[in-house]
Chain A
């Protein structure tokens, strides 16, 4: 199944954050979304996941087409996400954090389902800990655990390795690959660490000033003169 974005435009009071973005995402594929600061990466994720309603454009997944979707509806369609600034439920335990998604986006026993999602990310002994008291790296992983509980077609991950050391980053990369392999979902990954992007992604899309300026395999993108110019400003 594909997720198709057609001519997506997002304007904020005269500032054009996305300027006619066409994109096709496929299940089973990890796509890297890169570009300089302010190029529209996070805005695209926000539009795709229903945080913002795009000024123009539409999306299609399977036989469904939409131009406007709420966060909740997107989640129910299986378009799940994490946030650039970690958004957990500060008073919740690790278990409860994932239970919320199991309760609302999955069938069956919500606790059993949450336990399976947590075990998949090695959270076993931390289940009763308060989410906001976990280490930063664990909080990032918990956000991913919550995002994979219940229906999952496409996982949008915004800067999952920001603020993490090399070992923790590597751990997140492995987690994402494992989720893709086990669940067969598509993953869109935004990250500033180009090593992470180049290592893990099947395909890379480069945004600059709200437009796609390049896309292809990591090797193709890396040697594209337009990408080099956008990053180095020359």
Chain B
């Protein structure tokens, strides 16, 4: 098991290095950093000084190494647009996105699994078919339209919930701000988290359903039925367990996707998170912010993937034995 973990960690590190290379290449080759940092009145001496200062006179691998070194220490340079350190801006925005993603993710996983199991077991039932049809609409409905629809219904027409922003937030610790502790913060969270979670929920539900139908066709399920086990035991003890093995990987990916999809939701609701920051960066070609966001999100994805792999071990005994070299 230890060997497996080490291998996975090494693979993750490799992925991060590659992403880092992509981010650095963006940094280095998209637009001229010196152009971006110096105004119109610049002398050749200024340019040379900045080149040396930024290390642009050094060979590419050295520059890349320096970039990684900076990245590990949280130094991503200065935003072209805001003129402040990127790390500072990201840190300020991170809590908003993380809180939104956590609520949406929870919503998507819990409801997604429950509905997926329900529609698989009652595959020919009326209710299951209604849910499946609705889910197809859910998949076809772009996230931003869901958001607009919810705003129109609950903010414009009914006036129950706020249509933008985070509401009132409370500072917790050094840099974390939370919306959980104030009524307006909680109210502001409702529509965005439904918007963000709905699509992922549909995906998880459809996946759980199709995996479970596949499992229900397996011999060991037929054998479990042939042994007269109760439906509840067959469905939830035997089938659900086997269903979850492939589903867990995808759920992990979906959690990562939620953080990325937050870009859309944050734009619709003007939610002050890193997603909104990123989309503005793309619009204004603010490369340092784009690169930093890319690195940040990769670290999250890779971390989630690593956790998922470890969960695999807990669920599937075949892996535990085969990879540990016990047999």
Q: Do A and B bind each other?
A: no
Chain A residues in the interface with B (C-beta under 8 A): none
